[in-house]
Structure 1
Amino acid sequence: MTTVRPNVLIILVDDMGYSDIGCFGGEIGTPNIDGLAGNGVRLTNFYNTARCSPSRASLLTGLHPHQTGVAELVNNDGPGGYPGSLTEHCTTLSETFRAAGYHTHMTGKWHLSNERERPDRSWPTRRGFERFWGTISGAGSYFQTTTLHDGETPVPVDDLGPDFYYTDEIGTHAASAIRDAADDERPFFGYVAFTAPHWPLHAKDSDLAETRGLFDEGWDVLRTRRRQRQLDAGICAADATLDRRDPDVPAWDDEPEQKWQLERMEAYAAQVRAMDRAVGTILTALDDTAQRENTIVLFLSDNGGCAEELRSDPEGADRFRRHHLIIPPSAPDGTPMRVGNSPEIRPGTADTYTSYGQAWANLSNTPFRLYKRWVHEGGIATPLIVSWPAGDLTGGVIDAPHQLTDIAPTLLEATGVPAPTERSGRRVPALPGVSMLELLHGGSAVEHDLFWEHIGNAAIRSGRWKLVREFGGPWELYDLAVDRSESNDQAADHPERVADLAARWQSWADEVGVIPYGDVLAARATMPVQPA
């Protein structure tokens, strides 16, 4: 292994399901990401936190999101809930690597501050990134991107130009930062956070042309084919069957609006293709500057596929339009924005604001059930690809379970950078995760319990067993070694195991500061409404 300190590049995508990319079973066409996997390893039992902001907080700090102040989204729920901004009581990877002599840069979506327009102590420029180009808010138009900043300087929508498309620009700006880093004697820590393929469904005509007809056989046939490709690739081969179609989703043959449904998925797929192209732009910059060999590249998604439906009725659309920081009042040509999911609104263009919905999210999450926000497998399972040509990674496909809190210890061990113990003279929590470096080198996995809580949904995974519940519901128990699709609840057959895992989950929740979700809702009821 090389003795020169490696660069680190984390690529995070937004709302992409487990099986959307080609190397995890998808048919969309993602050659750059698939190439990254072909020269690295794929972790098939890796987990995020089920939602965008908590995943970002956990990824960048190595802590559970409840320890960072960002356990749900970036709304401030006051003294009775979470503050919704990255607190001063934790250290980011960018701060840690910068203190160790690394150059640090970020491109794309931040979404870790409840202050979206005026720089404060939770902005990326104040949390260790020397260079930042991207958005502070969590979603927005791809053609008229709001809360866009170059450093701390706002980039007005009127300055973006007629050919602006946010995904392409993220790739271009990230590549520029990588090229500039090649002239610096310091290694770099880079973080690229795409908004793709998060709604709205905005795609360039050239990308849409590549996805037309790709999904004509419908979600039932496509889910079966994705599962077969996963089996052929050794992904979840022994531990999962294809889950039953979501009971709220009709059979494809019974879908009355097939043409519109196909347009939704084609637009979503076009966004994935654009993201893959931007990844290619970034990887080319590494190649052109001879930095690819000694750069640790991680690729993953912040949560599972998103089943959110955007309302098109007047009340729902008007409420959404009031979120002025994520949706412009009109298209670039002055056309009024058409908001919501309706067959009358054809997705893809700059004057629309739509999502791809539950049925296609069910396809995205093949072979699992449920979606973003839940901590069942469909909400928290993500592809994780790790590439480091100079790092002697072995294994190809790795099934050992890990989660976001394990990334920081892995990167710190790989680079020889010490874990943080304090920030501004105040002690910070010890990193709870374990390093995956030995595993990535072909060694044994470190067995450890994994934990989740999001909007009252809770889970613990201990080895092959997973205890999980929805907010207000009973605990469910699954043997993931044979039932990762969570089809056979064994809670009634193993009450002692349920009690043991529930007690371990509660101990963890108390330790990291999980606030009971009923208390969060009560606190929120007293707070003014804020934009998402």
Structure 2
Amino acid sequence: MGSARPNVLIILVDDMGYSDIGCYGGEIGTPAIDSLAATGARLTNFYNTARCSPSRASLLTGLHPHQTGVAELVNNDGPGGYPGSLTERSATLAETFRAAGYRTHLTGKWHLSNERERPDGSWPTRRGFDRFWGTISGAGSYFQTTTLHDGETPVPLSELGPDFYYTDEIGTHAAAAIRDQGDDGQPFFGYVAFTAPHWPLHAKESDLVETRGQFDEGWDVLRTRRRRRQLDAGICSADATLDQRDPAVPAWADEPEQKWQLERMEAYAAQVRAMDRAVGTILTALDETGQRDNTIVLFLSDNGGCAEELRSDAEAADQFRRQHLIIPPSAPDGTPMRVGNSPTIRPGTADTYTSYGQAWANLSNTPFRLYKRWVHEGGIATPLIVSWPAGGLSDGVFDAPHQLTDIAPTLLQATGVPAVVERDGQSLPALRGVSMLDLLRGGSGVEHDLFWEHIGNAAVRSGDWKLVREYEGAWELYDLAADRSESNDLAAEHPERVEDLAAKWQAWADSIGVIPYGDVLAARASMPKQPA
């Protein structure tokens, strides 16, 4: 069964660090994902945009997020900021592939609309997806998933059942879509967007059993071992040392709450295991419908590991509880939700809402520093696995630098599908990236500069040189050929290179309409306050 034209399946995970999966050095068991890498290509210098919504916007449109209306999250910051919803001045890959005769489906997280309850023009059902089962908003309970929709019909919590677990359900629904769309001979474009392993730390007991004791030696030993496995696998083998432990993180031997810290990482790892199992469910559907060989499968993460610490003080917890669109009012048994990171709250169960914190995120991002939200390597480096057995791809590890804007041109070249160039008679912006197909087939690829801006954090990579700064900070310069861990700032030694790269960044920012972050903050402050 299947079509002569290749299917396309993008699998995106949420808040997963660079080294968490086995084929990028991690100790968490991920056999399904590793099997993709065994039959495909792994890119070591691939980049997202540092945060969930803008990464999704860029991945699905081939544009930089600022061109799509979703440059930070899905808040509408008014006339002086970004609208926070996917604009009509872009075409999604679903719209593009559907125009070429593909069936299209989305399973999982959307997070590209600031209207989370009433369907509007930025919902997936209005942006090219024939079939949608998933959530409109971002993070949420895995046991009581809010903003869940089947098409445009809300799925109430009362219908979820006692054994509901969102990650498993994403795998089941995605597999069903593949089986259904494999019956008529038309090719499909599928987008599977897991919320795992984004907080809250919600895990099934059967998965927790498998991760208990796995991290007992602590983050220092584990980071060193991950780096060793990366070197053995040729991952960042020549261009990165193991950066020093984050100065804000104590040595494991000095950590006063080791038992609680281990419970946090065990729950996070259990979420990764569940996600890998769901990927296996999806790959089995491809195998059993005879579509695996002629399906282009991409696997990647939307940003680096997340260091966010959820506050547990009464005021912050109460404010968080009132955000009912991402957190249910109570646990399934009616008990109050316990919100925040505290040793008094053991993570994993449905009545908790916690995250795994900075120290474990530092492990997740081995061998890099910093995290989600930053455009240093720890925030933007992601695994990218590309598998297409019938597509003539070269197996192994590829070091050429690429970013999200390069995915759309690659898929369009591989499938022969033309880009959508206009909507309602109005020209759409041209795709900003380059195709990776020649590289993936053993060629030299296309050298090009890469650019980022997120909440005022900015970066440009040109060849092996990267210029990067935090918002309102000075530019830093790194030679990534020798220092991808960004430990040796060379800005003072190469002022002319700093000036040249800064000019390149500014020209790019002007060309795509980056709004200075100070202006975004001012616009946000001027907006009417929304009721809690």
Give me the TM-score of the superposition, normalised by structure 1.
0.99
Equivalent position SS for 2:526: coil
- Which residue of structure 1 lines up, in the alignment, with residue 515 of structure 2? 515
- Quote the offset at 1:184 in angstroms: 1.8
C-alpha distance in 1, partners of 2:395/2:461? 23
Structure 1 pair 398/98, CA: closer, same or farther in 2 (3 Å)? same
1:198-217 → structure 2 map (5 Å cutoff): 198-217=198-217
- Which residue of structure 2 lines up, in the alignment, with residue 264 of structure 1? 264
C-alpha distance in 2, partners of 1:252/1:288? 46
* 1:118-153 alpha-carbon deviations (Å, 9 max, x no partner): 000000000000000000000100000000000000
1:485 aligns with 2:485: yes
- Which residue of structure 2 lines up, in the alignment, with residue 504 of structure 1? 504
- Quote the offset at 1:424 in angstroms: 2.2
- Which residue of structure 2 lines up, in the alignment, with residue 148 of structure 1? 148
- Quote the offset at 1:185 in angstroms: 2.1
Equivalent position SS for 1:11: strand
C-alpha distance in 2, partners of 1:125/1:395? 36
Equivalent position SS for 1:333: coil
Contact 1:242 1:366 in 2 (8 A): yes
- Which residue of structure 1 lines up, in the alignment, with residue 300 of structure 2? 300
Equivalent position SS for 1:80: coil
- Which residue of structure 2 lines up, in the alignment, with residue 226 of structure 1? 226
Aligned partner letter, 1:349: T
1:439 aligns with 2:429: no
Contact 1:325 1:531 in 2 (8 A): no
4+ residue segments displaced more than 3 Å = 528-532
- Which residue of structure 1 lines up, in the alignment, with residue 319 of structure 2? 319
Equivalent position SS for 2:79: helix
C-alpha distance in 1, partners of 2:217/2:103? 48
* 1:330-385 alpha-carbon deviations (Å, 9 max, x no partner): 00000100000000000000000000000000000000000000000000000000
Equivalent position SS for 1:466: strand
- Quote the offset at 1:528 in angstroms: 3.6
Contact 1:323 1:531 in 2 (8 A): no
- Which residue of structure 2 lines up, in the alignment, with residue 170 of structure 1? 170
1:456 aligns with 2:456: yes
* 1:246-277 alpha-carbon deviations (Å, 9 max, x no partner): 00000000000000000000000000000000
Aligned partner letter, 2:468: V
Tell me, which stretches of 5 or more residues in structure 2 are unaligned? Answer: none
C-alpha distance in 1, partners of 2:437/2:320? 44
Contact 1:467 1:501 in 2 (8 A): yes
- Quote the offset at 1:472 in angstroms: 0.6
1:348 aligns with 2:348: yes
- Quote the offset at 1:487 in angstroms: 0.4
Tell me, which stretches of 5 or more residues in structure 1 are unaligned? Answer: none
Stretch moving more, 392-401 or 448-457 = 392-401
Structure 1 pair 3/463, CA: closer, same or farther in 2 (3 Å)? farther
C-alpha distance in 2, partners of 1:277/1:528? 44
Contact 2:141 2:328 in 1 (8 A): yes
Contact 2:460 2:501 in 1 (8 A): yes
* 1:482-508 alpha-carbon deviations (Å, 9 max, x no partner): 100000000000000000000000000
Aligned partner letter, 2:285: A
- Which residue of structure 2 lines up, in the alignment, with residue 81 of structure 1? 81
Aligned partner letter, 1:268: Y
1:242 aligns with 2:257: no
- Which residue of structure 2 lines up, in the alignment, with residue 27 of structure 1? 27
- Quote the offset at 1:531 in angstroms: 9.4
C-alpha distance in 1, partners of 2:145/2:206? 20
- Which residue of structure 2 lines up, in the alignment, with residue 423 of structure 1? 423
1:122-137 → structure 2 map (5 Å cutoff): 122-137=122-137
Equivalent position SS for 1:78: coil
Equivalent position SS for 2:452: strand
Equivalent position SS for 1:420: coil
- Quote the offset at 1:529 in angstroms: 4.6
- Which residue of structure 2 lines up, in the alignment, with residue 362 of structure 1? 362
- Quote the offset at 1:395 in angstroms: 4.2
C-alpha distance in 2, partners of 1:481/1:91? 36
Aligned partner letter, 1:65: P
- Which residue of structure 1 lines up, in the alignment, with residue 41 of structure 2? 41
Aligned partner letter, 1:454: H
Structure 1 pair 3/208, CA: closer, same or farther in 2 (3 Å)? closer
Contact 1:55 1:303 in 2 (8 A): yes
Aligned partner letter, 1:145: T
- Quote the offset at 1:407 in angstroms: 0.1
Equivalent position SS for 1:79: coil
Aligned partner letter, 1:84: G
- Which residue of structure 2 lines up, in the alignment, with residue 11 of structure 1? 11
Contact 1:75 1:530 in 2 (8 A): no
- Which residue of structure 2 lines up, in the alignment, with residue 387 of structure 1? 387
Equivalent position SS for 2:45: strand
- Which residue of structure 2 lines up, in the alignment, with residue 402 of structure 1? 402
Aligned partner letter, 2:264: R
Equivalent position SS for 1:445: coil
Structure 1 pair 196/531, CA: closer, same or farther in 2 (3 Å)? farther
Aligned partner letter, 2:421: T
Stretch moving more, 489-498 or 391-400 = 391-400
C-alpha distance in 1, partners of 2:456/2:319? 25
Contact 1:208 1:267 in 2 (8 A): yes
- Which residue of structure 2 lines up, in the alignment, with residue 378 of structure 1? 378
C-alpha distance in 1, partners of 2:42/2:202? 29
C-alpha distance in 2, partners of 1:240/1:76? 39
Contact 2:139 2:199 in 1 (8 A): yes
* 1:393-424 alpha-carbon deviations (Å, 9 max, x no partner): 10410000000000000000000001121122
C-alpha distance in 2, partners of 1:69/1:531? 23
Equivalent position SS for 1:368: coil
- Which residue of structure 2 lines up, in the alignment, with residue 117 of structure 1? 117
Contact 2:40 2:393 in 1 (8 A): yes
* 1:277-318 alpha-carbon deviations (Å, 9 max, x no partner): 000000000000000000000000000000000000001101
Contact 2:3 2:187 in 1 (8 A): no
Structure 1 pair 104/465, CA: closer, same or farther in 2 (3 Å)? same
